Amino acid sequence: MWDNYILLLQNLGLLNRNRRTQIENQTRSIEQNTNRKKQNQTITKKNIIFNDISNIDKISKEQNLSLKEFENYIKDLQDPLTGDPIQLISNQYLYQCKKCSVFYLKESFDFIKIKNQGKCVSCNGTNIQPYFFDGKVVQVINFNPEFVTLENLSLYVNKSIKFKGTVIKILESRRGDYALMFEDKPWVEGFKLIVFYPLMKPGKGLEREFLRSLVGKTITVRGLLQYHEIFGYEILIFKRNMILNIE
Ligand SMILES: [Zn+2]
């Protein structure tokens, strides 16, 4: 089945042969992750979150996708930074990385433009363009962030990651940003989750009281890993649902 898909992409000129192995490897790892998650179910084509390619054999270069088919094609995709589902919603742009093919929702695109020098949080490429549905078959991948540890942070700088740790204390910057420290060290030395003060306005879900209530709790967070020249390693988030779990 993968061979058919890759061949299709090659025939459409969407994939050159050098990328074949790379895509196959990505595909395998995504497939493995998915299979692990769904180990209690029968493994079928439908379990692959890469995209719904169950009808791929029927799609040819001449045959355009209908909007309905495209929606089905992307139905299992998630925004690589927030994990929010990628959906075609009127008045909302989708963005796509031209290097690795992940799709972004606008709020993530806006955030990485400012906070990640416009780098894709999946591949660190900088060519992310608005996506307009034109009926053409597109290559898509789903990015599932890896759990990082204090030991391997340096491998994931500027990428979307997951981390589980206990909030030891909260430090506040002069302008009101919070650092939820995962280590009992000064701001610049310890690993931390950063929440910028404008996000703490009432109603945004990241109010000060909520953040303070996390001290002593073990949290699982999904966000953008950065290494700041002065402030060191940090995870940036901009939405409450990027805190995945609180124990
Ligand atoms: Zn990318």
Does some domain include residue 87? yes
Number of domains in the chain: 2
Give the pLDDT confidence score for residue 93 in this predicted structure: 81
Query: How many whole angstroms from 100 Cα to the centroid of ligand 1?
Result: 4
Give the pLDDT confidence score for residue 63 in this predicted structure: 61
Q: Are residues 172 and 90 in the same domain?
A: no
**Final residue before a domain boundary, out of 74, 102, 131:** 131
Q: Are residues 106 and 7 in the same domain?
A: yes
Q: Give the range of the structural domain holding residue 226, as residue numbers without chain letter.
A: 146-246
Query: How many whole angstroms from 57 Cα to the centroid of ligand 1?
Result: 26
Query: How many whole angstroms from 126 Cα to the centroid of ligand 1?
Result: 8
Q: Are residues 45 and 74 in the same domain?
A: yes
Query: How many whole angstroms from 29 Cα to the centroid of ligand 1?
Result: 16
Amino acid letter, 150: L
Does some domain include residue 157? yes
Q: Are residues 202 and 103 in the same domain?
A: no
- Look at the block and give the residue holding tokens 């690589």: 80
Does some domain include residue 140? no
Query: How many whole angstroms from 189 Cα to the centroid of ligand 1?
Result: 30
Query: How many whole angstroms from 98 Cα to the centroid of ligand 1?
Result: 7
Q: Are residues 93 and 151 in the same domain?
A: no
Q: Are residues 120 and 36 in the same domain?
A: yes
Q: Are residues 95 and 150 in the same domain?
A: no
| Per-residue pLDDT of the chain in tens (247 residues, 90 and over written 9) | 444 444 444 444 444 444 444 444 444 444 444 444 444 433 323 222 333 334 444 444 456 778 888 888 888 899 999 999 988 776 678 999 999 999 999 999 999 999 999 999 999 999 999 988 888 878 888 899 999 999 999 999 999 999 999 999 999 999 999 999 999 999 999 999 999 999 999 998 999 999 999 999 999 999 999 999 999 999 999 999 999 999 9
Give the pLDDT confidence score for residue 185 in this predicted structure: 97
Query: How many whole angstroms from 159 Cα to the centroid of ligand 1?
Result: 10
Q: Are residues 17 and 101 in the same domain?
A: yes
Query: How many whole angstroms from 77 Cα to the centroid of ligand 1?
Result: 14
Q: Are residues 118 and 172 in the same domain?
A: no
Does some domain include residue 242? yes
Does some domain include residue 137? no
**Final residue before a domain boundary, out of 131, 165, 180:** 131
Query: How many whole angstroms from 143 Cα to the centroid of ligand 1?
Result: 9
Question: Around ion ligand 1, which residues have CB less than 5 A away?
Answer: 97, 99-100, 120, 122-123, 125
Q: Are residues 108 and 155 in the same domain?
A: no
Q: Are residues 153 and 123 in the same domain?
A: no
Give the pLDDT confidence score for residue 74 in this predicted structure: 84
Give the pLDDT confidence score for residue 90 in this predicted structure: 66
**Final residue before a domain boundary, out of 100, 131, 162:** 131
Query: How many whole angstroms from 121 Cα to the centroid of ligand 1?
Result: 7
Does some domain include residue 139? no
